[in-house]
Amino acid sequence: MLFLTLEQHQEVLRRLCALGKNHADRTPCHSAGIEYTSVMLCFLLHHLSVAETLLRLADSFGHTWFPVTVGYTITRTMFETDVTAHYITQVPADRARQYIEFGHVLNKRKMDACSKHRESKDPQWREAMALVWENHWASQERDVIEKFNAVTPQFTRTRRNRKEKPEISQNWSGKSIRQMALDVDHVEAYDIFYTALSSFTHVDVHLADRFLQHRADGPVWSQQAEEGDVGNVFRYAASFMTCYLKLFSRQFATWLEADVQECWKIAP
């Protein structure tokens, strides 16, 4: 187990980014199919974009004024992407297709929300939704409904109490992130890292605490970052990206797992 400084964790993240970018465009199509390949590549690009964003924020703001709440919030998505990828990889062709086809459910929900609020009591909302409907959903309504009807059987669940009407899952897998994390042996990372990161998405008191500085003359509200928080952002990001790149290497043989681990070898 290594104890790295903030600067060293940033260097690890830079190396991981370089490894991913240098090989991403040479990824072969997986035997599980183009859907699985495309989803995994999208997840790789997401990891790279988050990592690059964090590094650019550090370059722009420095460590003292690094926007910690933003850093934590976007780093959280790296964990979700990593867990989702591991879960899909267990049954790659079927789950990748299921992940993609849930988009038709999401489109139907967005269209229904727009339709509903065309009758809003607020005249500004009525006008706005009428414009959105006319310029976007009206021409697509039939297609959205047809695609939704085609995929709903695979996302319809009956609860244990069979008296209740079957309903469509809230997400593509029918499971929470924690349930998927348990399935892919990521429960420790969920309980320790993800729970801490979720404070900044759910806007609980830990987010507010980041702006509160306790001083001898009383509390002061400031955007000044604490080094421990900035260090955690880059430690989490490097850890999540390492996990994903190792999975990607096992699936596509684009690089060796040893290449990923080599990124952590920092000279003292």
Domain assignment present for residue 268? The answer is: no
Give pLDDT tens digits for 67-126.
999 999 999 999 999 999 999 999 999 999 999 999 999 999 999 999 999 999 999 999
Distances (CA, A) of 34 to 28, 96, 126, 251: 10, 9, 41, 13
Domain assignment present for residue 25? The answer is: yes
Domain assignment present for residue 29? The answer is: yes
Residue range(s) defining the domain that contains residue 17: 6-262
Secondary structure of residue 221 in the 3-state scheme = strand
Give pLDDT tens digits for 129-162.
999 999 999 999 999 999 999 999 999 887 666 6
Residue 26's pLDDT band, with cuts at 50, 70 and 90, is: confident
**Residue in the block written with tokens 């699936």:** 251
Residue 223 has a pLDDT of 86
> How many percent of the chain have pLDDT more than 70?
97
Other beta carbons within 10 angstroms of residue 94's beta carbon come to 15
DSSP 8-state assignment for residue 136: I
Residue 163 has a pLDDT of 63
Residue 260 has a pLDDT of 96
Residue 257 one-letter amino acid? E
Residue 174 near residue 153, CB atoms below 8 Å: no
> How many percent of the chain have pLDDT more than 90?
79
Minimum mean pLDDT range among 52-56, 124-128, 163-167, 168-172: 163-167
Residue 65 near residue 258, CB atoms below 8 Å: no
Domain assignment present for residue 236? The answer is: yes
Please give the tally of structural domains in the chain.
1
Tokens of 124: 């500004």
- Closest C-alpha among 106, 45, 100, 47 to residue 76: 47
Q: What is the CA radius of gyration of the chain?
A: 22
Give the helix/strand (H/E) hosting 251. Answer: helix 227-252
Domain assignment present for residue 116? The answer is: yes
Domain assignment present for residue 31? The answer is: yes
